[in-house]
A = this chain, B = another copy of it.
Amino acid sequence: MKTDIITPRRRVFIVSSGSVVGQKEKSGPLGDLFDLSGDDRFGKDTWEKSEAEMQRLALGIALRKGEFTAEQMGALFAGDLINQCISSSYGLLDYKIPFLGLFGACSTCAEGLLMASVYASTYYDRCAAVTSSHFCSAERQFRYPLEYGGQRAPTTQWTVTGSGAFVVSSKTDDIQLNRSVFVPEIAGVLPGRMVDRGITDANNMGAAMAPSAADTLMRFFSAHSPDEFDLIVTGDLGREGSGILVDLLGAHGTDISKNHVDCGTMIYSPDAQDVHAGGSGCGCSAVVLSADILENIKSGKLSDILFIGTGALMNPLSVNQGQTIPGIAHLVHIKGSKVKDI
């Protein structure tokens, strides 16, 4: 099987990151880990503007934590779920960083890190990647106005109100700013292929995305074994999609049941928070990666992980026109490298 894994030519590191979340995420099991939380409005008068504001804040935090200025970024990769990705454009406009817009649905965090590592290991020294989602802007975009109070199916996921930003750098000087023993290094990336297994239920994104995650992982595992990794972290398959992924890989003789976790099942409490199949949205994997996974790599608790962002490539019109929902999954291989050895 052809893998096409990209191994960065120059070593690249996630030298800084920032996470911003709303109230429900703050109340969840990872609540204390996020850099900033707000009242979901973030001082704005529309949900779309609130989401854009979260992106602005998240990138600001990532830059500040790494002691960077916007001018030091060669390029900025960003995208979101809202029509024509306006959260990214309005949110990041004022930074004046050369901007390459992405659309990868909920896989955007992984796609952005993939892009940033490709550019920062070749033509630029440093790049930033940002993404977001907002429950209130996504609900009215993809489902119903909040006021409608539509009932949610058991397989439905709850769109995370959150934004994550990352600075990827190949400058070894930048690593010293990392006041930790280990620095997260991007050891490889693998762009996913679109996979469509005929799912038409827009309330079951986990099932639509799991086959693409399986496809990307099978391509990656043609050169690696699942046992090499402390964790295999999928973006936001939720409970439904996670089970399907483990089963799909199991049917190919690949067992990830022992080290697989999913950002969508980590961010909310299944008992205390009424979120059905778990969290979703571009912001979900971005804030969990930034606040939880990367911090565990920096402390040495985790040393080698796979991060697979998963996205469902549909819009409400395509679902109404009876189209099936293809999924996509991009992979980022991150390991903890000892700062003093770099």
Also in contact, A103 and B85, with CB within 8 A (given A4-B74, A46-B321, A317-B48): yes
A123 to chain B minimum Cβ distance, whole angstroms, is: 5
A222 to chain B minimum Cβ distance, whole angstroms, is: 14
> B85–A83 contact, CB under 8 A?
no
A230 in the interface, Cβ–Cβ < 8 Å? no
In the assembled complex, which residues on chain B have CB atoms less than 8 Å from the CB atom of A103? 79, 84-85, 101-103
In the assembled complex, which residues on chain B have CB atoms less than 8 Å from the CB atom of A123? 6, 9, 118
A318 in the interface, Cβ–Cβ < 8 Å? yes
> A318–B48 contact, CB under 8 A?
yes
> B99–A328 contact, CB under 8 A?
yes
A104 in the interface, Cβ–Cβ < 8 Å? yes
> B194–A92 contact, CB under 8 A?
yes
Number of copies: 2
Also in contact, A111 and B101, with CB within 8 A (given A4-B124, A318-B48): yes
In the assembled complex, which residues on chain B have CB atoms less than 8 Å from the CB atom of A160? none
Complex Cα gap A194–B86 (Å):
12
By beta carbon, the residue of chain B nearest A108 is B101
A196 in the interface, Cβ–Cβ < 8 Å? yes
Complex Cα gap A321–B323 (Å):
31
A181 in the interface, Cβ–Cβ < 8 Å? no
By beta carbon, the residue of chain B nearest A212 is B99
Which residue of the partner chain, among B75, B83, B84, B317, contacts A191 with CB atoms under 8 Å? B75
A159 to chain B minimum Cβ distance, whole angstroms, is: 14
Complex Cα gap A323–B87 (Å):
12
